[in-house]
Amino acid sequence: MKGLQFHHIGLACRDFAAEQRALETLGYRAESPVYDDPGLGIRCQFLTLPESAGAPRLELVAPLPGSTVLDPWLKQGTKLYHLAFFTDDLDRALADLQAQRGKIVVPPTPAVAFAGKRVSFVMLPNMLLSELIEQ
């Protein structure tokens, strides 16, 4: 697909402190404060590897109390939650992915992490969850 720019890898977790400690052994450091996004039912934090140009940005993602959005990943012990991409045209990108048998699992929703810009999650036919971020 044209017009997508990679932004981050989302990692599902239960315990931010434990995840941070583990990733700090690889050199990752907090890029943002921890923030809650009640609209998506998640608590998040971005991490980067400042010493390594080109290393992927990571987003730790944990469920807010009462949220079940991450249950399928956490129950299976799966860390890789999603790959995220900026897009210049969210609606067109969603239509393109649907035409390729992608299934929208979270419709366009304002996101705290991106100053209220819309994000949407699409499950690809290979069962990889992708986040599209309105630029």
Per-residue pLDDT tens over the stretch 8-31: 999 999 988 899 999 999 999 999
Q: List the domain boundaries for the chain.
A: 4-134
Rounded to the nearest integer, the mean pLDDT of the chain is 94
H or E segment at 99?
helix 90-99
Q: According to the CATH classification, is domain 4-134 in 1.10.510.10?
A: no
Measured CA to CA in angstroms, residue 110 lies from 30, 52, 74 at distances of 23, 31, 24
Beta carbons within 10 angstroms of residue 80's beta carbon: 12
Per-residue pLDDT tens over the stretch 92-134: 999 999 999 999 999 999 999 999 999 999 999 999 999 999 9
